[in-house]
Amino acid sequence: MNESTPTYWDYLALPELLNAQSGLGDGDIGPDELHFIIVHQAYELWFKLVLSQVRLARDHLALPEVPEEAVPSVVHHLNRVNEIMRLLVDQMKVMETLTPLDFLDFRDKLVPSSGFQSFQMRELEILLGLEESQRLHYGKVNPLTHIKKLAATSPGGAMAWGRIEAAREEVSLREAVHRWLYRTPIQGSTPEIAGDEQVVTQFLQDYLDRGAESRNIQADRLASLSEDPEAVRARFAAMGESTRAFMMAEDVKAEPSQIARIRRIRAALLFVESYRELPLLAWPRLLVDTVVELEEQIVIWRHRHARMVERLIGRRVGTGGSAGVAYLDKTTAYRVFPELWAVRSMLSPRRARPDVRNPEVYAFRETIGKP
């Protein structure tokens, strides 16, 4: 065998990988600390793959024009991410084999290092589209300042902060999904067609009118059985009004053109979800489903991590200085794709949808044998 013969260990850099478990380098680590380190390292390796897959999906979607054949590729990459996330949720079980007492043997020396400093998790949040204004602070402290402060004092901190800053310059998956949704034909109309804004508004109006009919029937039935019929009617009316205001993007504080853009994005989502049976919407609806699943998996991961933490350290202050479980539980309210969730409470049954106009736009095109 000469030096250029490929080997399993060189290809996978096993000597480096298997020699990277000495922790703080302060002497021998015990078996529980080895367990703790390897579980974290396994997460970080998966995070690396997740980041690369999300970037690939984003790159396809952020193109000025997304070819139809690119949509399955986006679904493919996001499906891979979703499978990894399911594994990462399950992997918490492995972490939980550490007992609270065994953890206490080495926990103190870790302070102030913490999952707060998982710069890959921060990159993922930013890359998905979590806005800084959404980020939870604990007390007055932004969790990111943890890393920012270290940037000035250590090469590792500079590297971690550099990655976070670079991620902020990228187009997020949320923005890429928005750009793609924005161009979706609604009732056969696309943004560059004259009169598109009216088509979109008319579609929304028709949808809301038909939805109101179905809601009123439900409200009447429930009110007739209720001890407080007025409260029932008021609840339905409030739901109808919030649906209308959301679809018309009345909650958006921006220039009129920006409001019209958001309205079109929401209408496109409603259109894709409502007319799932149209042939050309088959892949778009799968794409929307995988993005919803991605966010769902991340929320489940946050829940699962919080429960694991509660089991291991109870309600203690975290090694990073937050309120621990109380802080982590609040992060489960993060939603990067709120429209994708909101549209679910707005859908009307098939029988109450407006008819599709220009259905030929959504039919498969026959290309075989044609020039």
Which residues make up the interface to ligand HEM (CB under 6 A)?
39-40, 43, 95, 98, 103, 114-116, 118, 121, 143, 305, 309, 312-313, 318-322, 324, 327-328, 331
366 backbone dihedrals φ, ψ, rounded to 5°: -85, 115
The nearest distance, CB 106 to ligand HEM, in angstroms, is 10
For 367, the 3-state DSSP assignment is coil
Given a contact cutoff of 8 angstroms between Cβ atoms, the answer to whether 306 and 325 are in contact is: yes
The residue among 102 and 197 lying less far from ligand HEM, judged by its C-beta, is: 102
The residue among 73 and 332 lying less far from ligand HEM, judged by its C-beta, is: 332
The nearest distance, CB 25 to ligand HEM, in angstroms, is 20
Given a contact cutoff of 8 angstroms between Cβ atoms, the answer to whether 208 and 244 are in contact is: yes
| Whole-angstrom Cα Rg for the chain | 25
The residue among 172 and 331 lying less far from ligand HEM, judged by its C-beta, is: 331
The residue among 41 and 258 lying less far from ligand HEM, judged by its C-beta, is: 41
The nearest distance, CB 26 to ligand HEM, in angstroms, is 19
The residue among 24 and 193 lying less far from ligand HEM, judged by its C-beta, is: 24
Q: Judging by beta carbons within 10 Å of its beta carbon (0-12, 13-18, 19+), is residue 70 exposed, middle or buried?
A: middle
Q: Dihedral of CA 43/46/52/53: which sign? A: negative
The nearest distance, CB 107 to ligand HEM, in angstroms, is 8
The nearest distance, CB 320 to ligand HEM, in angstroms, is 3
The nearest distance, CB 33 to ligand HEM, in angstroms, is 11
The rounded distance, in Å, linking the Cα atoms of 218 and 95 is 48
The residue among 124 and 248 lying less far from ligand HEM, judged by its C-beta, is: 124
How far CA 210 is from CA of 95, 144, 202, 281, 360, in Å, comes to: 51, 46, 12, 22, 23
DSSP 63-124: SSS--GGGHHHHHHHHHHHHHHHHHHHHTHHHHTTS-HHHHHHHHGGGTT--GGG-HHHHHH
